Structures are given as structure tokens and as C-alpha cells.
Structure 1
Amino acid sequence: MDSLSMWEATAGKRKKRPTLVDDKHCDVVIIGGGFSGLSTSYHLQKMGHKTIVLEKDTVGYGASGRNGGELLTGYHGTMETFAQKKGFETAKLMWELSLDSIDLVENISKENGISCDLVRQGDIRPAYKVSHLDRFKRDQEYLAEKLNFHGVSIIERSEMKTELNTDFYHGARINERGAHFHPLKFALGLADAVEGLGGMIYENSEAVNIQRDSTSKVIITTPKGRVIANEVVIVTNAYAGNLNKTLEKSVIPVESIMIATEPLTEELMQELIPKNRAVSDSKNLLYYFRRTADNRMAFGGSGRAFGKRAQRMLFDNLREGMVTVFPQLKDAGIEYRWGGKVAFTQDFLPYIGQLEDGTHYAFGYCGKGAAMAVMAGKVLAETISHPDRVNNPLKKENLRPIPFHSQHSKGVGLMKFYMAFQDKYGK
């Protein structure tokens, strides 16, 4: 399902980066050339550390170059729930980190002149059911009363046309801090910024083995070379492979798919999403969508299929979903169809931490990683450079494999079936 994405087609000419050959030395070697890896390198280079990024394919090949390009706050679950589970102070830090993550993307873009079509108009979460709107109202009250955050507002169904010209939803939650951007343009721009700071990025350079020598140096072997470093960071997320068994078995890859229409008129796009916000609805198997800089509708949803016929059906169903939300698009041509993997953890929260052997990691953004993955890179860099100064609310201690991980594919299929049932018949 790795067909050409709209982002790849519209990102402009790529810079050709070298493949690792022979031995190279650095302070920190980073495995994974997506948002997290590039951000880790960027922030470490600014702190005076020499870094090398190893990417199996090309910069932004995975979720960083395939996602919906929506920069959203929060996590899977309400902040009130996290306060009950983790304590109020930790929940407060988690919320602040998610807000700061969007600011971080914006600041990096401005500081480095990265032209990535960033639009900071907020995001909207339409309520698929009346009960979902009630939940949004409770969450809004908690954010205002306990976290002193007043950037969230609620609109009823009668007001929906001011935000989305559709009768599909029962109201919505609006967060003024959200944004959307061209994710691959940002990834490529961040890679350029890394190299401008002296960092090295090697593409088509898969890390196939990790060893530690008698002096505690880390040796990363690729098909044509090696990197010898003091520290190693693994940020491969849903594309973990079998390089590190603990990380591989702590993440569940889940397929997501997107379609993008042909360029539409400014008038039509203004009619559909008047305030140009990022949109992700409240269904279990959610729809997420937004307008692009060239006036396409980019529309995403869940995807899991075996064989080309089943894949075509998935994309056809997604288009049907788009037209159900926006009947005005029934005659719009679809120019791009693509898919990729997002990573989920056992408790639906990102993990940022360190294994017993010293390996640093971050993964599991659960479909909300466009901003948080960039922030995770900053947290990793600060942890490596100043470990005693970092207060990381997403720190994961004692990482353990997910039970029955080898059966995760069947489990995801069953879970999606159950979620679809809940969407249709649940409250």
C-alpha cells in the first residue's frame, strides 16, 4: 500500500543523499530519518554534538511523509482520565508538552525558512454522535477549570455550517491551537537544517546490527559500512523491523490510508471548510481531512487489506466516506491514493525512554504524531545532553513486550471489526 503519496508528488525536487560507506564516527547515531530522528539530530547539533542519521529508505519515507499533515494537541483519552491514572502534575505536563509541540514545529519552520504550507487556524473535532459532543463538553470544562486552558470551544449541530458544510455531524470541539502543514516539505526542510548544522544523513542505509564494544562504544552495521558512536537512538516507530526485539514487540503497526482529490475551486473549498482548520472526527475508525495549499481535499481513514482487489475496495470505501461527509464532492476526481503505518502502544500513549543497555527510543504516537514526534526528538536530545534537567512526562520505565505480539495482525483486524461495530451501533 506504499503507492505515491500526494505529499511526495508535490514536495518538489528531492536532494539526493549519500549511502553510508566505510566507517564513520560520531557522538550520537540516530536510526530513523523521520520527524523524531531529524528533530533529535537537529537539537543535538545545536547543542554541540556530532550526529549521524541512518535511514533505511529516504528522508520522510514512513509516517512522517505519509500522514494527514495535521498538528493536533492532546492524546488518545481525556486529560481528566490521565490525571486520574498518572496524577495531576504529570497530566498537566503532558498537556503542556502537546501544546508546545505545535509551537516547536512552527518555530523550527520560521527559524530555518522551511516552506511547508503551515496554516495555524486551529483544528476541529466533529462529533459523530450526540454522546461524543457531551464528552467534548466535559473535557472542555476540565481543561478550563483545572488546566487553565481556554482555547477550546464547543459548537452545536445548528452552528456546524460555520465550520463544516455538512450534515454528517452533531456539533464539534474547536481548539484554536491546532494547525496543518505539508509534512514531507517539513521533513525535507528539517533534514536540510540538520545538514546546515553539520549533521550527516545517510539514506538507503539500513541498520542491520547493533553491538557494543569493550569501551561501551555503539557499533551500528549497515550493508556497506559502520557507524561507531557513544550513544544510539532508535526512532523507527511503526517501521521498527527486527533490529531491536524489545522495541519491535512493544509497538503495534496499524495501517492508515488517504486519498486526495484533484485541485478544486477556491470557492468550493471555502464552502466546505470555511476557516481552513484541520479536521479529525470522533469515530473509533475516524475520518481525518483538510484542504491543501493547492485546494485539494485530503481525506484519510483506517486501512487494512490483503491483495490489490481488497486495497481498491478500501480506497473506494474511503471515497464513499468522503462523499457521505461532503456530497458536494461526488463528482471530484481522485488523483492520489496512498497508505502507510502508524504505531500504537499498549496504553495508547507515546513512549520516550531508554533501554537497560542505554539505547534511547521514542515511538507510539498513535496517529497523533505529526507534532509530538518532533517534540520527542527535542526531549531525546535534551535527555542525552542534560539528563538531570529533563522532566519527561512521557518517560516509559521498564519497557515490556506486548503480550501475544506475534498475533498482533489478527488482533488489529478483530479490534477494527469491533470498533466499526461500535461506530455503527454503540452509544
Structure 2
Amino acid sequence: MLHAMSRNTGKLGAAQAGLFADDYLEEPYWWSAAPLSAADGNTVPGSLDGKADVVIVGGGITGLVAALHLARSGCDVAVLDAQRIGEGAARRNAGFVGRTLKRSVEWLAERSGREHAMKVYRELDAALHGVQAFVERERIECHYQTCGRFIAANSKAHFRALIAELEQTRQAVGFDYSVVEKHDVHKEIASDCYHGGAVIPDLGSIHPGLYHASLVRKALDAGVRLYPLTNVVGVDHGASGKTIRTSKGDIAALHVVVATNGYTSRNLKWLARRVIPFRGFVIATELLPPETIDKVIPRRRTYLDTRMNIDFIRPAPDSSRILFGGMTGTASSTATPLAGALRDRLVKILPDLKGVRLSRAWTGHCAGTFDFMPHIGTKDGVHFALGYNFAGIPLGTHFGEKIAARILQRGDTSSVFDVEKFPTAPFFNGSPWFVPLAMRYFDWHDDRIAKG
């Protein structure tokens, strides 16, 4: 569990005195507006109530969206989480809302057929726009906006590959984009690091803390029972249902859902062997003059680059700060030791921020898969949705609705991501020891592309 660092930056060492603002904390920026509290169901019950219609393991976006739909349909729903409710990725991610996938339309078409590739991207598009529809329908105040995204090319070769991929996608499924030549990059971002890029106009951003906090309140209002600090040890199967064994006792249920993504316990062995947890790292600057933000990111979009191991930037939606993420997969359990390196990367991209201090730095678990694809399905009668590969907000919302529909046996329950094969690797037991090596390989691969 991450702890808040002292507000007295002198305790962090003289060499870092110019790095941290007076209010520095090692905790997600989003917790300022959406702190973890008893209002989020973060009370500690002595033991579980004996049974429920549906037990959901994981109190993130997927679990709470599913729980909300199920409870409103009359189900008795219990949500179990090994951490405090809201302590995981749901209130740690960067708040990007897009059609993120590491596999292109053409890559999928070559291996699985063009019809399958188009279905994948159409469902990604449905998940993207489904978040906006859900936020509007539920009247959730979470700073959702369609700000567009600028994808910055790290080299001439990356630029050519980016535009080729976007054009192939446009021809296949109609997603719009506009080309930004190198001489026009400063209209999007005040940086000389890039060789052009592209704007995808219909992608969005959100305040993930406020989004998740609203889901918690709505779930509680619907009668969902929340059990924080409750570790699931295993699931036993019987003729009349399932028994979920936990650190707080057993609970019986007709249906079980696992929606733990990068926090999947090795006690759930089959699933743990199929998701690859890795750490993401994000920093938030001190308060900046609004004109500084207008200068360095004049369109106030979300920003990322074309490398596999991306750097990403966005303005905070509720204060005059800039958020930056990178160094994904680095072997560090806390963010403070990486804060200086992260700021250096930010300043290299945006030199106008030289000398900026940091108010927050944090880390949390993401999850990839061996085929770079998200997965939804059932295993031994247990529903799961895992492996979001940086698309946790749209797919988490989308898969939560799908799983609820499947349990209720109503509405559209189909998904192109529901496939029989959920690959793993020999001897992989859930320990991501190889992730730093994989990230170095991706860096080497991107360097090769840049020289091509």
C-alpha cells in the first residue's frame, strides 16, 4: 500500500529540494478531489454476510459498473476488494478515453480476417462512445470532454507508419484524423522533439477519481454491499452455486465475476497466469499560470507519442497543472525515486517547463496480455474481464455492462473480445519479472524503426 510522503520536502533530501513543491505527496493527483473515505464503503466489516446473488471480485470500474446494473435489476450484489475501495487503478490511471489497441486493423486482418478486425475496432469505438453516453445518462460530474488526442511521431519513420495505420483504419472503419506536419507541431505542443503527428478529434478525457467515486455512490444507493480489505483465497464450485473463500470468511453466490486486471491475485491461478501486471508512473506539476499551459499545450488535448513504451501528457481537468506519465514497467514499487527522471523527460519534451516543481507522483498496476488483446469470458462458470492494455476506462465500463447483461440474460451480450483462447506462457505464474526486459526490447525496437 502506498503511503503519503511528508509535505516537508526537506525530508526528501537536499538534492531534491528544487524538485518537489511544498504540498508534495506520493499519492494519485485524483485523490485530492476523490479521496478514499468511509463514504466510499471503506469500512472494515468483521466478516462477510453469508450469501449473495452475485459476488464481484474487484471494486474498480468494471466491477462497479456491473454491480450497479445488477443491483438495479434486483440482484443482491457483494463487491470484494483486497485494497480499500478506489485504491487501485480506477483512481490511479491517467484518465485517457480512447480506442487504444496495440494491434492495428491490418495486423488483425492478416491474422484473423478483415471482418474480425473491423468488429474489434467497431467494438472499441462503441466502448469509447459508451463512456460518454453512460456519463451523460447517469449525470456523473467528472469533467468528461471530447478534447481530441495528438499522437506525436518520434521519428520520420514513426510518422510514416502512424499516418499509414490511421489511413488504413479510416478506410476500414471510418475513424477520422488529421495530419500534423513537422512544421505545424507547435500548434499542438510546444516541443521540438517530434517529426509531425496526427490529431484524432473524437477521443476524450475524464477525471477518473470523480468517475469512480460517483460509481461507488450510485452502487451503494442501489444496495450493493462493498467489502474492502478482503482477499479472495479461492472459489469452490458446488451443485447449487459457488463458495468464495476470503480472508474475512466464506460467502456463497450463484454467480462470480473477477474484474481485478493488474491486481489479480495468484490465488486465482488460471487468470493470474494470463495477465501481466506492470507499473505505470505519473507526476503532476505544481500549480502553473494558465497562460503557461496555453503556451505548451495550446489545444489542451491528451498527448502521447508513437513508441511502444509511451510518454503521455494531459492537463489536469480541475486545476492549472500538467500531468505526465512514462517509464512504464520500471522496477520500482514507489514513484518518488523516479520523480526526478520523470520531470527531466517532461522538460525535455516541453522546455518551457524548466524548473517546474512537482506536487504529486504515484504509481499503480496496469495489465497487459500475451496477445496484446483485452479479454472477456467465463472459466468454470466464473465471469472475467481482464487485460485492458491501457484501455481501462472505456473497456472497463463496456465490459461491466456486458457481464451484467450476461448474468441477467438480457440485451446484447456478445463481444468480439470473448474468445476461447486466452493465452499464457510456459512457467508463467503471475510474476512479471520480465517486464523491465520487455520494455528495454520495445525501446530497442523503436530505435530500429527510427533509423529505418
TM-score of the superposition, structure 1-length normalised? 0.92
Which residue of the partner structure matches residue 442 of structure 2? 419
Alpha-carbon distance change, 278 to 205 in structure 1, aligned in 2, over 3 angstroms: same
Which residue of the partner structure matches residue 152 of structure 1? 177
Give the aligned residue type for 1:352.
I
Matched, 1:40 2:40: no
Identity of aligned residues (%): 27
Whether the 8 Å CA contact 1:5–1:338 is kept in 2: the answer is yes
Give the aligned residue type for 1:335.
S
Superposition deviation, residue 267 in structure 1: 0.8
SS in 2 for 1:194: helix
Residue 143 of structure 2, aligned match among 98, 117, 121? 117
Residue 343 of structure 2, aligned match among 297, 303, 319? 319
Which structure 2 residues correspond to residues 104-183 of structure 1 after superposition, within 5 A? 104-149=130-175, 151-183=176-208
Instruction: Determine the C-alpha separation between the residues in 1 that align with 2:151 and 2:131.
Output: 21
Instruction: Determine the C-alpha separation between the residues in 2 that align with 1:402 and 1:210.
Output: 23
Residue 352 of structure 1, aligned match among 357, 364, 376? 376
Which residue of the partner structure matches residue 384 of structure 2? 361
Matched, 1:227 2:216: no
Superposition deviation, residue 122 in structure 1: 1.3
Alpha-carbon distance change, 236 to 147 in structure 1, aligned in 2, over 3 angstroms: same
Superposition deviation, residue 278 in structure 1: 1.1
Which residue of the partner structure matches residue 23 of structure 1? 49
Which residue of the partner structure matches residue 371 of structure 1? 394
Whether the 8 Å CA contact 2:36–2:87 is kept in 1: the answer is no
SS in 2 for 1:382: helix
Which structure 2 residues correspond to residues 235-384 of structure 1 after superposition, within 5 A? 235-292=259-316, 293-305=318-330, 312-355=336-379, 357-384=380-407
Q: 1:151-199, CA deviations, whole angstroms, 9 ceiling, x for partnerless residues?
A: 2222111111221111111111211121111111111111111222222
Instruction: Determine the C-alpha separation between the residues in 2 that align with 1:350 and 1:407.
Output: 17
Matched, 1:396 2:419: yes
Which structure 2 residues correspond to residues 96-111 of structure 1 after superposition, within 5 A? 96-111=122-137
Which residue of the partner structure matches residue 6 of structure 2? none
Alpha-carbon distance change, 66 to 306 in structure 1, aligned in 2, over 3 angstroms: same
Alpha-carbon distance change, 69 to 396 in structure 1, aligned in 2, over 3 angstroms: same
SS in 1 for 2:360: strand
- Work out the number of aligned pairs and report it: 423
Superposition deviation, residue 111 in structure 1: 2.6
Whether the 8 Å CA contact 1:305–1:314 is kept in 2: the answer is no
Q: 1:380-424, CA deviations, whole angstroms, 9 ceiling, x for partnerless residues?
A: 122222289532100131435322314953421221222223344
Instruction: Determine the C-alpha separation between the residues in 2 that align with 1:300 and 1:140.
Output: 24
Between stretches 99-108 and 178-187, larger displacement belongs to 99-108
Give the aligned residue type for 1:188.
A
Instruction: Determine the C-alpha separation between the residues in 2 that align with 1:41 and 1:299.
Output: 32
Residue 5 of structure 1, aligned match among 23, 28, 36? 28
Superposition deviation, residue 307 in structure 1: 6.4
Superposition deviation, residue 219 in structure 1: 1.3
Alpha-carbon distance change, 125 to 61 in structure 1, aligned in 2, over 3 angstroms: same
Superposition deviation, residue 304 in structure 1: 4.5
Superposition deviation, residue 366 in structure 1: 1.2
Give the aligned residue type for 1:378.
E
Between stretches 390-399 and 229-238, larger displacement belongs to 390-399
Structure 1 spans left out of the alignment, 5+ residues = none
Instruction: Determine the C-alpha separation between the residues in 1 that align with 2:363 and 2:433.
Output: 19
Between stretches 414-423 and 161-170, larger displacement belongs to 414-423
Superposition deviation, residue 28 in structure 1: 1.4
Superposition deviation, residue 329 in structure 1: 0.8
Instruction: Determine the C-alpha separation between the residues in 1 that align with 2:224 and 2:408.
Output: 16
Instruction: Determine the C-alpha separation between the residues in 2 that align with 1:41 and 1:169.
Output: 44
Matched, 1:189 2:214: yes
Whether the 8 Å CA contact 1:352–1:394 is kept in 2: the answer is yes
Instruction: Determine the C-alpha separation between the residues in 1 that align with 2:382 and 2:370.
Output: 20
Q: 1:56-84, CA deviations, whole angstroms, 9 ceiling, x for partnerless residues?
A: 11222221111111111141121121222
Matched, 1:209 2:231: no
SS in 2 for 1:391: coil
Q: CA RMSD in A?
A: 2.2
Which residue of the partner structure matches residue 50 of structure 1? 76
TM-score of the superposition, structure 2-length normalised? 0.88
